[in-house]
Amino acid sequence: MSNIITKDAREQELKRLCSMTDDEAYANALSDPDNPPLPDAQLENMVLLRSIPGETLQEKLQHTQKRRKIPLATPVDDNTLQELVWEQA
C-alpha cells in the first residue's frame, strides 16, 4: 500500500483547505482526536521561528539549543537505529 499523494490530489486538498472559513477549520481541528488545538498556556510559550536569530533552519536550531541548553533529538524508527548501529560497527 502506498502513501504517495498525486499532484492533482494535493491541489484539490489545498483548494479545499483554502476555501474553509476560520470557523470551519477550527471545527475540523476540534473534531480531530489525533491533532487537537493546543491549549492557550502552551501557545503562550511558543516562539515564532522568524524571531530566532539565524539565516538557516540549522542556525536557528543551534541558537535555540545553546540558549536553552537542551539537546535536540531526532526521533528515529527501528530501521534508522539499526543503520546507525551498523555504521558504528
The per-residue pLDDT for range 28-53, each reduced to its tens digit, is 888 998 888 788 888 888 878 888 88
Predicted model pTM: 0.39
Higher per-residue pLDDT: 46 or 89: 46
Tally DSSP H helices, then E strands, for the chain: 5, 0
- CA torsion 11-13-14-20 (nearest 10°) is 150
The per-residue pLDDT for range 6-23, each reduced to its tens digit, is 999 999 999 999 999 999
Percent above pLDDT 70 for the chain: 72
**Who contacts 73 (Cβ-Cβ below 8 Å, separation ≥6)?**
none
- For the segment 52-61, the average pLDDT, to the nearest whole number, is 85
